[in-house]
Each structure stands twice: as structure tokens, then as C-alpha cells.
Amino acid sequence: MTRELPLATSSRIVVVGDVMVDRYWYGDAHRISQEAPVPVVDVSVVEDRPGGAANVALNVVAMGAECTLVSAVGTDEAAESMRDKLDGAGVVCDFVEVADWETTLKLRVLGQRQQLIRLDFERPPPEPVADRVLGAVERHLATADTLIIEDYDKGVVDAPEGIVAAAKKAGVAVVADPKFKDLDRYAGADIVKPNRTEFEHVAGAWTDEADLARRGGELLDRIDGGTLVVTLGGDGLEVIYRDGTSQRVQASNVEIYDVTGAGDTVAAGLGVASSLGWSVLDGARMANLAAGLVCTRIGTAAVTAAEINRAIARQPAAEHGVLERDALIAAVATARARGGKIVFTNGCFDILHAGHVGYLAQARGLGDRLVVAVNDDASAARLKGNGRPVNNLESRMRVLDGLASVDWVTPFSEDTPEALLSALRPDVLAKGGDYAESEVVGADFVRSYGGAVKVLGLFEDSSTTSIIDRIKSD
């Protein structure tokens, strides 16, 4: 389940990157010009909105955190307009001012709520600004929880390696949103958020989700990164870990009007979640939902914690959690209709240990949703003998539901999960490495309709029985 945001926090976030002004001219377009076959727009409204890294900063404060924005701007009207709006929203601005340079401006002309043309006014700074920007960042790191690098590759973040190094030295988590630079230049970042094109540019095109996860894990290992969050447009987000496993966050089911600024919102959400100590997966789920809200609006926009929480409340309860069989069947059918790949595993999970956690993470990496079926107390006792289970069914399911790798948990009372397998028909049946493939109950049935059976790696020195024996011997 997507975690709710606190409406206000003491989290402090520094955003550094390229800022720009998104200018909108709105009007009616009811006729075609006699001079050329183009619409004539009678402009009635002119609106400026902070864009780029400034839009990230606006989203950070809207989500309830404190924010300082570091960037470089020209000494012009566009910069003053942007600064006024940021000040009014509560963003602290620390701008490097560059003489004889105009702040990047993107002009969009809209008629009948449709964008007719976009005009970009931009050029690189006439002088290097990286050292001055780094100095400004360093002034704020002592009081920061998280640093977001929003690099649009327009000259402000010419040396991302120095910024990452300064943050790591200060013990500040780093979220990097790259553009065209080699991702090696963000080495050491805790979260790196490329989009599909940016990821393919450095890692190559992938054939399926498992290949995407493998390539992402190799990239993280090479750049000494923490986690990748690859934005995939309508396919949602892919959270990739260094061990080569991944988890998909499905795109929100919304009517998309304008995708402008959605990536900025994801970066802001990941940064806010990081500052709150959330897992990357929890942050990705919240950020993905926030980005979906942005896509229902015209142009760059900030979404508030209250708006995000209302959207979370509207999510179907069956998206995640502990479900009885009928509700689980319906939830799996919905996920499959959206193109989701369903992975199934089962067990007693009496005393959850590192082996369980590792094996469930591996299982989740095989698809889009992981179902964990848990033996109820009576069936666990029949399988394990007197004195088992140590923990009752409710406790065991609650612990499993708290794992980021697990989507749904469901109980079953039969000695085997064959009835559940028949009802769900998962794409993948997974079991831990202490089983031989010939011993996996239900394997023949799953293969009969084209499903896959996977026996995962064995985690040494991880056994519930041995843990119980050690406790008894003490």
C-alpha cells in the first residue's frame, strides 16, 4: 500500500540544478491567418511558472518539506519573476547571478486548451558557474537531510561528481535526476532516476523485465550507486537494486492531459521520501502517484501532500495487503488485465529470517506482483509437528505484508497450495533453494498452461528450525 505523507515535516532538502521559466500564453483560436496556414491566437492570459529544478523545489515544499534551491540565473525579468513565485511558496533561493546572460525561458502558446507551439529561449552560461554553484551547495549541506540534483544539462551542473562527493562527505543522501551526461558522473548517488531513453543510452535496450533488472544491477555496481528508479512513461517506474532484482510500480490509472513536469515531481517525491527515511520502493509508489496527478493538469504543477493522500485514499484496497481468497482472485485479475506478471510462492514463514527476505526479493524480481500464500496454524502444525508454528497466522502474515517485496499475502488451510494455484494461475511459481524442482508442489500444473517454475538461490545458515534449536540450546 502507498504510504501517506505527513502534511508537514522538519525534513530539509537542497535542490541544485538548471532552472527555467515556463511561460504560457492562453487564448482563443477561432480563425486561420491569411498570411500563412496557422491559427491566430487572441492572447488573453499570460502566466509564468517556475520550471526545471525550480519546479522540483516547488513540489518539495508542496509535499511538506523545507527546501533550499541552488542554481544560476541571469540578471533579467524572467529570473525576478521566478524568484518572486518561489519566495511566495516558501522556497529559499540561493542563486548565482550571471551577467550578460538570460535565464532559460520556454514559451508555450495554447488555444482551446491545446498547445499550438513551444518556443525555447536558451543558451549556455557565458562563463563557467560550476565552482560557484558547488560553493553554494556546500553552504547548505550541514543542515540538509537530502540533496536532489536536477540536471537538465544546461550548464549549472557541469561537475556533478563534485556535488555528489560533497554531499556524501557531509552524510547527506543524494537523489540524482540526470539528462544526457554519462551516469558514471553521478557515481555514489543513493538514488539515480533516469528515464527510459537515458537508461538505454548507457545500458542498452532490454528484452524483458529480467534483462532490465540485470542491466540496471550491473550499472549500479559500476557506478557504486544505491538504487535505480527508471521512469517508463505509461509503464510506470522500475525500481532496480544492486543485486540485479527489481520491482515494478504500475502507472496511475488517470486520464493524461500533459506530461510536462512529471519527471520533476518524481524526483521531488523520491527526495522527500528519502528525507523521511522511507524505503526507495515506498518513495517510488508515492512519487508515481504524485506524477499521475500532475499529468492531469496543464503544464508544470506542484501537488500537495493533502492531494497525494486523498489520491492514496481513493486507491482500491486490493492493490496491496493481506487478502482473503475471493478478494485476491479479483485483485490478480485486475493486475493481469493491466499487463502485470504474477509470481506466486508459499510456505509457513514461521520465524522470518534473512533467507526468507532474500528469497522473496528474488521472487519479486521475476514479475510485477508477488503473491505469498501462508499455511494457517493447523496446516503448519501438520507439516512441521508439535510446537509449531511459533508465531500465529495473523503475526506471520503481518510481518510478510511489511516487506517491500511482497504485494499480497493470503492464508490457506489445505496441506498444499494447489487449489490456490488453480484459481490464480500465476505466471511464475517460485520456491526457495532448499527445494529440488521435482519437489515443488503444483509445478506440473503451472507448466501445463505455459507458466514457469523457478527454484531460487539458497541462503546459507538461514533456517527456522536451526534458529529454534539454537534458542532451545541457550
Residues annotated catalytic, as ranges: 264
Are 342 and 371 within 8 A, CB to CB?
A: yes
| DSSP letters for 367-393 | SSEEEEEEE-HHHHHHHH-TT--SS-H
Q: Which residues of 352-391 are buried (b: 16+ CB within 10 A; e: fewer)?
A: bbebbbbbbbbbbbbbbbbbbbbbbbebbeeebeeebbbb
Cα dist from 296 to 252, 253, 256, 257, 292, whole Å: 11, 11, 5, 5, 7
Distance separating alpha carbons of residues 216 and 228, to the nearest angstrom = 7
Nearest to 109 by CA among 38, 22, 24, 21: 24
In angstroms, the CA 48 to CA 106 distance is: 10
Rounded distance between C-alpha atoms, residue 364 and residue 372, angstroms: 10
The values of phi and psi at residue 81, to 5°, are -60, -45
- 61 Cβ contact list (under 8 Å, min separation 6): 67, 89, 90, 91, 302
Burial state string for 398-431 with b = 16 or more CB within 10 A and e = fewer than 16: ebbbebbbbbbbbbbeeeebeebbeebbbbbbbb
Q: What count of other Cβ atoms lies within 10 Å of the Cβ of residue 197?
A: 10
Interior angle at CA 68, CA 65 and CA 71, nearest 5: 140
Q: What do you get for the CA distance between the two ends of the chain, in Å?
A: 39
Classified as helix, coil or strand, 112 is coil
Whole-number Å distance between alpha carbons of 336 and 139: 50
What are the cell numbers at 348? Answer: 509457513
